[in-house]
Amino acid sequence: MSKLANPIRLLLVLAALAAVALPASGCGTSSADPQRGRILFIQKCGVCHTLAEAGTTAQIGPNLDDAFAAARAAGEGGDTVEGVVKAQVEFPRPSNSDPAVSMPADVVTGQDLEDVAAYVGLYAGVPGAAPPKVPGGPGAQVFANNGCGGCHTLAAAGSGGVTGPNLNEVLPGQTAAMIEESIVDPNAHIAKGYPANVMPGNFKTIISSSEIEQLVQYLISSTAKGGGSKKSSGG
């Protein structure tokens, strides 16, 4: 998605996209899962776009809250935003080989696109939208903001994801350095029974170092037997 400096120009583009996209977009279908879309957005789209509800602040592409704020104020609903998102992902404007100027086509496809578009349709440009607050301190908030519970089971967070390992089972006994490595370089040591590349490898770029430290400490304290420090592992 290109950087369009003129807000009026952006709105005209969005309006044109909406007119084309809505008839074939399937908006409003019950098959979309916005919560799954939130996780995918953070992983796939948050590296380029700001969206307050997702807790993302990247500035490579347009700020999606700013992009859709005027449309929301004019009374446009989530279906319109959803249709625009689908059209822009499938047919980026402009389209070229420079990722700093143009979003690659098909960043997400199929059901993933349905879910991401539904999520963005719910929250982009909505005044006051912010990541849901959770108990447990700053590390728990990092866990929630980045959709970790969508893939992992962690009793303290009340999550039951099964795409990745059960953290209550695999984290006890690991040092802080080992846990951090699993977050920032997940293919360094693949958990038994799981293939490579299941967990996104870009968390080091989309989560700040201080938030990663908060997340690691939260995971240690939440999995009873976890402990250790970076120094103890030599990492």
**What is the distance between the alpha carbons of residues 105 and 43, in angstroms, rounded to a whole number?**
16
Confirm if 85 and 119 have CB atoms less than 8 A apart. Answer: no
Whether 130 maps to a domain, the answer reads no
Whether 178 maps to a domain, the answer reads yes
* Last residue in a domain, options 96, 123, 150: 123
Q: Which residue, among 127, 125, 152, 115, has the nearest Cα to 35 in the 3D structure?
A: 115
**What is the distance between the alpha carbons of residues 165 and 70, in angstroms, rounded to a whole number?**
42
Whether 24 maps to a domain, the answer reads yes
The pTM of the full predicted model, rounded to 2 decimals, is 0.67
Q: What is the pLDDT along the chain (235 residues), one digit of tens a residue?
A: 444 434 434 544 444 444 444 443 444 445 999 999 998 998 888 888 999 999 888 888 899 999 999 999 999 999 999 999 999 999 887 665 665 567 888 899 999 999 999 999 999 999 999 998 999 999 999 999 888 988 899 999 999 888 899 999 999 999 999 999 999 999 999 888 999 988 888 899 889 999 999 999 999 999 976 444 343 333 3
Residues 75 and 114 reside in one and the same domain:
yes
* Last residue in a domain, options 123, 157, 180: 123
Q: Cα 149 to the chain's mean position, in Å? A: 12
- Number of structural domains (the chain) is 2
Residues 91 and 68 reside in one and the same domain:
yes
Residues 154 and 73 reside in one and the same domain:
no
Confirm if 42 and 211 have CB atoms less than 8 A apart. Answer: no
CATH number, domain with residue 169? 1.10.760.10
Residues 102 and 12 reside in one and the same domain:
yes
Domain that includes residue 58, residue range: 7-123
Residues 106 and 145 reside in one and the same domain:
no
Digit-coded pLDDT (tens) for 99-145: 556 788 889 999 999 999 999 999 999 999 999 899 999 999 999 98
Digit-coded pLDDT (tens) for 55-76: 888 888 899 999 999 999 999 9
Residues 101 and 28 reside in one and the same domain:
yes
Whether 131 maps to a domain, the answer reads no
Residues 11 and 119 reside in one and the same domain:
yes
Residues 119 and 215 reside in one and the same domain:
no
